[in-house]
Structure 1
Amino acid sequence: MDFGVLATCLLIIIARIGDVSLGTMRTIMVVQGRRWISWGLGFFEVLIWLYAVSSVMRNLEHPIYALCYAFGFATGNYVGLTVERWLSLGDQAVRIFTRKGPAMAGFLRENQFGVTEFDGRGRDGPVHHLFIQARRRGIARLVNLARQIDPECFYVVEDVRSASTAYANGSSREPTGWRAIIKKK
């Protein structure tokens, strides 16, 4: 295999990793309602994709390019999801169902989480339903704290597209730095 073919393979892989990663981020921004960022990411995603697909289509005599295209696509999905997890953009709502509601709510409040409490009835009798909105980045900590009080609590985590107010110490503080730019819709 000559150097030109190898270089083109590498460029196709890098281009596909780039455009698929941008596509993953664009999809997340669309779901979160961030129109202008979605527009910009989509613009660059398609520019990169056009380069990659045209490199394959112009050189059909080299089937290795199609394999590189597929490899770049698969790797781009992995990279895009890894970047998305690393950035942890947005808020999430956590619903915790427990028999130790007052103790857990107090403990979570001591740890800077805003908690709303509800009484409910489960299959085996009365339960407490706790509702917490928090930054995605803090959800693992929140769940670990809840499990310290009740290791058998049941919880559900949901994405928050929008909320009426920015309440709670652990959620929706005004972003700073580059996050302030991303937060604008």
Structure 2
Amino acid sequence: MTWEVVLGCVVIIIARIGDVSLGSMRTVAVVSGHRGLAWIFGLIEMIIWVYAVSAVVANIRTEPAYGVAFAVGAATGSYVGVTLQRWLTFGEQVVRIFTRRGEELFEHLKCQGFGVTHFQGTGRDGPVSMLFVQVRRSRTARVVSAARAFDSSCFYTIDDIRVANAAGSGASPSGPAAPAEVACASPPCVTEESAPIAPGEGCTHENRSMT
């Protein structure tokens, strides 16, 4: 293997790392609704990809090492792309936190300056609280750190948000909203001291949303 081939392999690996990483960032931009960034990432990604593929196809029979370099670059690019996604600051995310210390954690996050929506529910082992926190991607780690520091046993999930403030709603999931009484749906509710209650007659769930 000559130095020219080695240099060609290095260039192909770097090119593939670049275009696969850009592909990951383009996906984030698309999901977040940033059309301009998605267009730019896609354009650069395809330019790099075309030249990398053409270099491999033109020499694959005489230099099989180019094919290996192509695969190594693609695999490494996937790793780098996932890492870069964690550093991207554009777009919004929603953090769902499940805890048995809902009231305390609700107040704690509110005092930290986060908009929080608190729901009461029932899990496998009894009552459980679910907190929704909508934040910029750059602040997601702060929410998780604050929640875990307060309740190390809490469980959380993180999702990207493509659209917030649906038409006519006037409020985001973590924005201010008046307390609402939501009637139970079927099947009928059953209490310990009474017979089944018809839907909407007595069993209600209270949702609170505060910032």
The aligned counterpart of 2:63 is: 62
CA distance in structure 2 between the partners assigned to 1:115 and 1:142 by the alignment:
10
Q: Does 1:11 align with 2:14?
A: no
Larger Rg: 2
How far 1:141 sits from its partner (Å)?
Answer: 2.7
CA distance in structure 1 between the partners assigned to 2:158 and 2:100 by the alignment:
19
How far 1:16 sits from its partner (Å)?
Answer: 1.0
Mapped contact 1:19–1:48 kept (Cα < 8 A): yes
1:67–1:132 CA distance, 2 compared to 1 (3 A): same
Unpaired runs of at least 5, structure 2: 166-170, 176-211
1:168–1:121 CA distance, 2 compared to 1 (3 A): closer
Q: Does 1:111 align with 2:112?
A: yes
TM-score by length of 1: 0.80
Residue type at the aligned position of 1:11? V
Percentage of identical aligned residues: 51
- Higher relative contact order (Cα pairs below 8 Å, separated by 6+ residues): 1
After superposition, the C-alpha distances for 1:51-91 in whole angstroms (9 at most, x for unaligned) are 11111111120111111111111111112122221224322
Mapped contact 2:132–2:173 kept (Cα < 8 A): no
Mapped contact 2:117–2:173 kept (Cα < 8 A): no
The aligned counterpart of 1:48 is: 48
The aligned counterpart of 1:39 is: 39
After superposition, the C-alpha distances for 1:96-153 in whole angstroms (9 at most, x for unaligned) are 2323222111111111111112222333433332211122333333223223333322
Greater helix share, structure number? 1
Mapped contact 1:91–1:134 kept (Cα < 8 A): yes
Which secondary structure state, in structure 1, belongs to the residue aligned with residue 113 of structure 2? coil
TM-score by length of 2: 0.71
Q: Does 1:140 align with 2:119?
A: no
The aligned counterpart of 1:173 is: none
CA distance in structure 1 between the partners assigned to 2:36 and 2:80 by the alignment:
23
Residues paired across the two proteins, number? 169
The aligned counterpart of 1:20 is: 20
Residue type at the aligned position of 1:45? E
